[in-house]
Structure 1
Amino acid sequence: MKIKNVILLSFILFLMSCYDDKGNYDYSEMAEIKIENLPETLEILGGIEHIVAQPKVISSLEGEIKDGNPNFEFSYKLELKGGSQLYNEAWVDLNPSKSLNLDTLISIPSGNYVVWFAVKDKRSSIEYSTTFDVKVTSSTYEGWLVLCNEGEEERVRMDMISVISADRIEPAYDLLSLLGLPDLKKATKIGFYPAPVATGDVIYLMSEEGTYKLNQNTFETSDMYNIYTTDFIVAPSDPDESIVEYMPLANMGPPTARAIFAVSNKGNVYALVTAAGAAFEMPINTSVRGKSPEYRVAPYVGISMVRYPGNSTAALFYDIDNKRFVGWSFKSPTSNDVNQILTPVPNPEVGGLFDFKTGMDLVYMEGTRYSNGLVYAILQNASGKRVIYGINMSGTGFVQESKYENLNAPDFDKATVFAFHSQFPYMFYGVGNKVYLHNLGTNMTYEMKNINLGANEEVTMLKFNLYHNNYWWPEPSEEFMARQFELMVGTYDNSVSGVNGGKLGFYKVDGENNSITKRVEYSGFARIKDVRYRERR
């Protein structure tokens, strides 16, 4: 009985203590939290449209909880619908700042996601939460892929000018930040091969630290998408060797490649002959198949850009050790040994314009459709003087067609970026913050003054985006087809704070008046290195 009395007394004292503390919120009363004004489902374009939320949070004890209230913090966490893993994490924190309202841009694959919104009372550590759905649709289906180097470390970054419809074109930024791309530095080029419909197109992102294939539907990538894993029989033994150029040679028949070439930063070149195999073998900068490389080649592939069906069976390379042109010519798959070697290009027996063993350094080389497949090569001698050779690659290739020397071209010897037109004998080159048009036919040069760049701006890229496909469905407009002959000008404004000072302008070229006219310009990119239109049939 005594024990029972003690227990009863203790219980009475406990009740009295609770009664004395009535009204003390810290111990006895629990607030009821209501969360309002969140969408049930939010539909966005990945990498283009922001996830925006402005919830209203009401406490039964304190009224509406405003942003900045020191007693509360807020969180938004995103994961795949159903709780599946999302890029090595169960969720992605959308607002590390713990603010009430959300306005964030995130690049994630198309799909259905859920966002968890939580309100935490920091005094009691109690959380209240709710969810809303986010449906992400693709912004990467078609448009201009914009490969950039970001910041002083030159982090590789892929932006895009997404063609959502004929009437809606939107820029999207840093598309691969959550899609598995390793932390790479020093982007070089975009590799693109519009393979047949059954297999889909091939997109490679190339850098000095690695080359990776992008998933054609989601743009996801990983170490398993390294080109040495996906496209090579045996990976190079040098761990620092990286593919920096990837170029398909169009077949003369269906819209496929006769061969694909890959050039590395170590000066090796590889050939994938589609009729004979499905992977790159040993380097072909050798005179005997499978033998160790005998010299290094420059990171350029000279081919006819008459595409699908193509008009050439040859490719041009430059031996930087012996300072000469070397060539590749297709033979039947039954004589595949000669498809895996390069051969010095012989001089013509009569009527030669120059020696294919130039003794000069190659500055730049580009294939065009001009004159049915002309490759332009810019070379520089020991004194710094530059010349241009034109080599026609139609048919079996290697035909000397033109030679341009004693160029009336201001600062041409200082130029770092170039582009050759496929309809007119025009070369564009950039020096600092200026772009010049040089007419090869008249040897006259014109400064493009309507590309008005400030003292802190510089030209980082000049290019023409020649389409690969001839098999479009539905039939494209004349305006769309004409855009492949517009000059693309990438610039960077070094006075802009942060890492987004890049712009990409599109200029129509006037072949009669040696001039260009801006059609449109987009901004917000990092330092542009390469641009490639992702074509869709």
Structure 2
Amino acid sequence: MKMNRIILFLFAFSLCACFDDKGNYEYHEVAEITIENIPEVVEVLGNSDHIVVKPKIVSSLEGEIGADNTNFEFGYRIEKKSGGVMVSGQRWVDLNPSKTLELDTLAAFVADTYIGWFTVTDKRSGIQASATFDIKVSSPTYEGWMVLCDEGEEERVRMDMISVISAERIIPAYDLLAPLGLPDLKYAKGIGFYPNLFASPNDVIYVMTGEGTYKLDRETFKTDVSWDINNIDFIIPPADERVVCYTSVNNSSTAGALACFCVTDAGNAYAQVLGSAGAAFEYPVNTSERGKAPEYKVAPYVGVSMARPGNASTALLYDTDNRRFVGWKYNYSDDDAMQTLTPLPDPENGLFSFKTGMELVHMESTRYSNGLVYAVLQDGGGRRRVYGINMSGNGFVQEVKYENMDAPDFDKATAFAFHSQFPYMFYAVGNKVYLHNLGTNTTYPMSTIALGEREVVTMLKFNLYRQCSLGQLNNQSEEFMARQYELMVASYNTDAPDNNGGKLGFYPVDGVNNTVTKRVEYDGFARIKDVVYRERR
């Protein structure tokens, strides 16, 4: 009995304690947070499109939560769906450091599938809700115009691209190679490209700079120091030389080029005969005997026929020490012969001497007259002239000579381009572009190329499709094929407040009226040095 009274007392005491304690706490219902309007998949073009998400947040107690509600914090992050490191050893990247409700950020990621995580946190209770969505980043490098630039006063090498996603969607993408492994380099020189189908699809793309030349992965554009041309294409890597010119010589086969040539900033030329296993650059060819030390320097130009396959198997270079043209010719009967350059002998009753005694200012390969190579030369008095050497038929035929040209400020021109359908030479002086009709010796200022007072032309060029020279690209539209005969005009605004004052305009050429008209123009580039179309089959 005594024990029962004790239990009853303790129960009563406990009950009273509970009643007394009830007034010491406030009980709150926990809010349920729901997230709406999150897409299942966001598809974007890397380094061009923005990842945009506009969620709707609803609290079971407070209703819809606005972006200005300071009781809630929002977050977005991204990580690879397949796992692995995103950048700098981290597995994920904060997409929204400002913690805003809506996301709108550049898709600055390589092509891959990612997971996006969205979180909303009630800062009062610590309650958090989240939602995930896929982010599919496609490559802007698949097809389009590769635009090689120098950025800023330090002339940092930068590759932009005008990406052709479809015939209806063509958009610029900027600074593509920075996240893809290209070392921090300076002084852009040019882009080397040729389509190669030997053994397997293995198109060659090289970025040439004053501090090294690097091969890009044909699909992703990824690269790193192991893709230096010295490691990829040379048996004996040259010391203290950097490749600044790279081109191919046509083959009778549509599978790829007969050979590739490169010229270094030291003035040495190298030949690489393709179509066989282990093809590589070996000894310099600017010598009279294979394996000997170079005997003279050559200019950073290689002239070839851009006409049909099998039209020629020769290359034209220029000896800057002796101021003369030298040639390379594939010799099927003597493997050693194809590894050296040879001074070109003057023909009887020729138009000019191959030993010009002049400075080579510019040399350009065209399809005009079935494979004409134009050379702009300057004598000791500063007067310039144009020679034309036909590369068809495996020879070096002197075809045209243009002297005493009625071309204003031609001696001051810094950029040139020769048309492959008409006898037209375009040249630029400052912010002015001129068309010189070589056939009539008449010059026409291109008033339709209107540039500002603080703009300067950095490049003139016609982008001839290399696959046309190999008998490919036969299934393309007439509109697409016509693009290679449009004059590309690159300019830079020196008053640009940032490093993005570069523009690239495309101008169809009227071969009857000696005029051009602007079809389209793109901006936002750095100082453009070279443009090459990334062809697809």
Equivalent position SS for 1:244: strand
Residue equivalent to 2:221: 219
Q: CA deviation at 1:255?
A: 3.6
**CA deviations over 1:497-528 (Å, ceiling 9, x no partner):** 22222221111111121111222222222222
Deviation, 1:468, is 1.6
Q: 2:204, 2:143 → 1: CA distance?
A: 13
Q: Does 1:450 align with 2:448?
A: yes
Q: Is 1:427 equivalent to 2:425 in the alignment?
A: yes
Q: 1:362–1:473: structure 2 CA closer, same or farther, 3 Å change rule?
A: closer
| 1:401 maps to amino acid | E
Q: Take 2:54 and 2:417, find their aligned partners in 1: how far apart are those partners?
A: 48
Contact 1:41 1:133 in 2 (8 A): yes
Q: Give 2:339's aligned residue.
A: 340
1:3 match: none
Q: Distance in 1 between matches of 2:119 and 2:272?
A: 53
Would the alpha carbon gap of residues 321 and 91 (structure 1) be closer, same or farther in structure 2, given more than 3 Å must change? farther
Residue identity in the other structure for 1:493: N
State how far apart, in whole Å, the 2-side matches of 1:206 and 1:536 are: 22
1:31 and 1:265 map into 2 onto residues whose CA distance is: 70
Decide which moves more: 362-371 or 160-169: 160-169
Q: What SS does the aligned partner of 1:228 have?
A: helix
Higher mean displacement: 275-284 or 458-467: 275-284
Shift of residue 86, structure 1, vs aligned partner = 3.3
Q: Is the 8 A contact 1:414 1:431 kept in 2?
A: yes
Q: Distance in 2 between matches of 1:527 and 1:19?
A: 74
Partner residue of 2:50? 50
1:313-462 equivalent positions in 2, closer than 5 A: 313-332=313-332, 335-348=334-347, 350-462=348-460
Q: Deviations over 1:106-145 (max 9, x none)?
A: 3434331112334567899997654321112333222222
Tell me whether 422-431 or 201-210 shows the greater mean CA deviation: 201-210
- Pick closer, same or farther for the CA change 1:123–1:433 going to 2, 3 Å: farther
Equivalent runs, 1:144-223 vs 2, <5 Å: 144-196=145-197, 198-223=200-225
Aligned partner letter, 2:459: M
Which stretch of the first structure deviates more once superposed, 211-220 or 127-136? 127-136
Aligned to 1:4: none
Q: Which runs of 5+ in 1 are unaligned?
A: 1-12
Pairwise CA distance, 1:358: 1.8
Alpha-carbon distance in structure 2 between the residues aligned to 1:180 and 1:379: 39
Please say if residues 370 and 424 of structure 1, whose CA atoms lie closer than 8 Å, have aligned partners that are also in contact: yes
**Structure 1 pair 427/341, CA: closer, same or farther in 2 (3 Å)?**
same
**Structure 2 residue identity aligned to 1:363:** V
1:348-369 CA-to-partner distances (Å, cap 9, x unmatched) read 2x11222222222111100111
The corresponding residue for 2:10 is none
Query: CA 1:275 to 1:73, structure 2 compared with 1: closer, same or farther past 3 Å?
Result: same
Deviation at 1:439, TM superposition (A): 0.9
CA distance in 2, matches of 1:266, 1:489: 29
How high is the TM-score relative to the length of structure 2? 0.88
> Could you tell me which residue of structure 1 aligns to residue 95 of structure 2?
94
Cα 1:441–1:281 shift into 2, 3 Å: same
How many Å apart are 1:271 and its aligned residue? 0.8
Shifted more, 204-213 versus 276-285: the winner is 276-285
Residues 46-81 of structure 1: per-residue CA shift (max 9 Å, x gap): 333211122345677887665577776654332221
Confirm or deny: 8 A CA contact 2:118 2:130 kept in the other structure: yes
Contact 1:270-1:280 within 8 A present in 2 as well: yes
Which stretch of the first structure deviates more once superposed, 138-147 or 266-275? 138-147
Give the AA of the match of 2:424.
Y
Task: Could you tell me which runs of 5 or more consecutive residues in structure 2 were left unpaired when the two chains were aligned.
Answer: 1-16
Say whether the 8 Å CA contact 1:108–1:179 is kept in structure 2: no
Q: Does the residue aligned with 2:335 lie in a helix, a strand or coil?
A: helix
Q: Quick one: distance in 2 between partners of 1:314 and 1:51?
A: 50
The one-character-per-residue Cα deviations of 1:386-413 (angstroms, maximum 9, x if unpaired) are 1111111112222222221221111111
Tell me whether 1:110 sits opposite 2:111 in the alignment. yes
- Residue deviations 1:309-359, cap 9 Å, x none? 141121111122222211111112x622222211222222x1122222222
Does the aligned pair in 1 maintain the 2:262–2:270 contact within 8 Å? yes
Pairwise CA distance, 1:177: 2.7
Distance in 1 between the 2:67 and 2:382 partners? 63
Q: Which amino acid aligns with 1:184?
A: L
**1:257 is paired with a residue of what secondary structure?**
coil
Contact 1:459 1:489 in 2 (8 A): yes
* Matched residue, 1:479: 479
Change (3 A) 1:136 1:269: same
Deviations 1:84-108 (A, max 9, x none): 2235542344344444432222343
Q: 2:467 aligns with which of 466, 469, 493?
A: 469
Aligned residues: 518
